[in-house]
Amino acid sequence: MPALLASVGFVAIGLLVSLFSLKSQGRELLANVVSLPLFLPALFIGLSMTVDIAKGMSLPEVWRQVLFLFLYDVFFLAAAYLRFDANYME
């Protein structure tokens, strides 16, 4: 579960940052520099959830972290969808 939520977050952020840097010069560098701080919450929360579950905690005990990652994914997927839909569907 944590790996799936973190992976969806990585994909959403990668899509959003690549859409923002699509028309800029030096887009390869810009995408890496901008996306790293956005990846860190998903990475750290996903790692802490994995460690907690490995220690024996159940999913109801880590529900706040699951909720945070879920909302994180929904926010960035919605932002990427709206950005793509508004500018590149013409």
**Residue 1 vs residue 13, higher pLDDT:** 13
**Residue 74 vs residue 36, higher pLDDT:** 74
Confidence (pLDDT) at 21: 75
Q: Give the tokens for residue 71.
A: 């909302």
The predicted model scores a pTM of: 0.76
Return mean pLDDT, the chain. Answer: 82
